[in-house]
């Protein structure tokens, strides 16, 4: 069965790269969001199997978006995409309900390993 | 992964974020007591850092990281937004604006001597000795916000 993914990042560059990595590995990217607010709305609409979530985004940040998504779906599978030096924020995101994280700059193999861990 | 196909996207998006940085800096300079432009500046610089690190443009990522640290210190009130800091921020954004094109032409660039935020404490001390008080103020602020990469 093909897993569906929602990719959330405020940079088109990062969304394109993550979508390419996942599509080439056989995942179906069903949507993209460029803010935390959009991520929450699109999660409700699309019900993806997996979400990749950036931390620093406009309107609503990634951690707040994780909280909102997990409020309505505690089983949501969310993978945080963090930058170097954001360890404290990653811990906060995991406490908010995220299942795992990858650190930018991405290696496609690391992304796919983390995705497999999150999907169990 | 073939990163070359993402280079044009990196350049376009970096330029958009740098344009936002310049607009926000001008707005902030007019009302230095305001904190609202800092969040947008931080996000734009953070995004450039993430993209540059992913592309392997170490010089761009390093300067963006140092600028991000300074903005974080300004946001947290650990550094005051005075004219010297604004001058440094404008110079740094200008330097960042010149770097992405160079970064695409050379897969990795050295920022150490070219960028206003990339001076080690020893160099800063030497510049302070040579340039006097103005250089000292800026150098002190940079050392205050210098964090390990």
CB-nearest partner of A13 from B13, B40, B56: B13
- Residue B14: pLDDT band with limits 50, 70, 90: very high
Question: What letters, b where the CB count within 10 A reaches 16 and e where it falls short, cover B115-126?
Answer: bbbbbeeeebee
Mean pLDDT on B6-28: 95
* Smallest CA–CA distance from B46 into chain A, residue: A56
3-state secondary structure of A64: helix
- The answer to whether A77 touches A101, Cβ cutoff 8 Å, is no
pLDDT digits (tens, 9 = 90+) for A67-110: 999 999 999 999 999 887 788 999 999 999 999 999 988 889 99
| Inter-chain residue contact A58 with B46, CB threshold 8 Å | no
Beta bridge mates, A72? none
Number of separate domains in chain A = 1
Q: How far apart are CA A79 and CA A51, in angstroms?
A: 6
pLDDT digits (tens, 9 = 90+) for B18-73: 999 999 999 999 998 888 899 999 999 999 999 999 999 999 999 999 999 999 99
For the cut 80, the answer to whether the pLDDT of residue B144 exceeds it is no
User: Among 3.30.70.100, 1.10.10.10, 3.90.1150.10, 1.20.120.160, what is the CATH number of B3-118?
Assistant: 1.20.120.160
Q: Which residues of A touch B42 (CB under 8 A)?
A: 56
For the cut 50, the answer to whether the pLDDT of residue B124 exceeds it is no
If DSSP states are collapsed to H, E and C, what string results for B119-147? CCHHHHHHHHHHHCHHHHHHHHHHHHHCC
Q: What is the DSSP string of A87-105?
A: HHHHHHHHHHT--EEEESS
* Smallest CA–CA distance from B42 into chain A, residue: A56
- The answer to whether A5 touches A53, Cβ cutoff 8 Å, is no
For the cut 70, the answer to whether the pLDDT of residue B122 exceeds it is no
| Inter-chain residue contact B13 with A11, CB threshold 8 Å | yes
| Inter-chain residue contact A17 with B65, CB threshold 8 Å | no
Mean pLDDT on B135-139: 41
CA distance A57 to chain B (A): 7
Burial of B5 (0-12, 13-18, 19+ CB in 10 A): exposed
CB-nearest partner of A13 from B1, B6, B42: B6
Please report, for chain B, the start and end positions of each structural domain, with discontinuous segments joined by +: 3-118
Rounded to two decimals, the ipTM of the complex is 0.85
Domain ranges, residue A52: 4-119
Q: How far apart are CA A82 and CA B16, in angstroms?
A: 22
Q: How far apart are CA B142 and CA B47, in angstroms?
A: 21
pLDDT for A86: 81
CB-nearest partner of A104 from B6, B53, B147: B53
The more confident residue out of B138 and A4 is: A4
CA distance A56 to chain B (A): 6
CA dihedral B6, B7, B11, B17 (to 10 degrees): 40
């Amino acid at each position: 069965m093909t897993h569906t993914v929602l990719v959330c990042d405020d940079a088109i560059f990062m969304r394109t790269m993550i979508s390419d990595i996942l599509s080439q590995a056989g995942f179906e990217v069903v949507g993209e969001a460029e803010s935390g607010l959009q991520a929450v709305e699109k999660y409700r609409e699309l019900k993806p199997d997996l979400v990749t979530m950036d931390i620093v985004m406009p309107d609503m940040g990634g951690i707040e978006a994780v909280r909102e998504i997990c409020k309505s779906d505690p089983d949501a599978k969310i993978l945080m995409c963090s930058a170097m030096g954001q360890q404290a924020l990653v811990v906060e995101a995991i406490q908010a309900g995220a299942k795992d994280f990858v650190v930018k700059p991405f290696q496609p193999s690391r992304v796919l390993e983390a995705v497999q861990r999150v999907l169990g | 992964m073939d990163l070359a196909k993402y280079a044009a996207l990196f350049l376009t998006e970096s330029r958009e974020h740098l344009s936002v940085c310049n607009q926000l800096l001008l707005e902030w300079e007019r009302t230095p007591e305001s904190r609202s432009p800092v969040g947008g500046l931080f996000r734009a610089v953070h995004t450039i850092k993430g993209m540059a690190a992913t592309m392997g443009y170490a010089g761009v990522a390093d300067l963006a990281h140092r600028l991000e640290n300074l903005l974080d210190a300004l946001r947290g009130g650990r550094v005051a937004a005075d004219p010297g800091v604004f001058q440094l921020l404008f110079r740094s954004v200008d330097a960042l604006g010149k770097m992405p094109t160079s970064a695409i032409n050379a897969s990795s660039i050295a920022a150490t001597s070219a960028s206003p935020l990339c001076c080690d404490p020893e160099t800063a001390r030497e510049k302070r000795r040579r340039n006097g008080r103005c250089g000292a103020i800026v150098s002190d602020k940079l050392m205050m916000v210098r964090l390990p990469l």
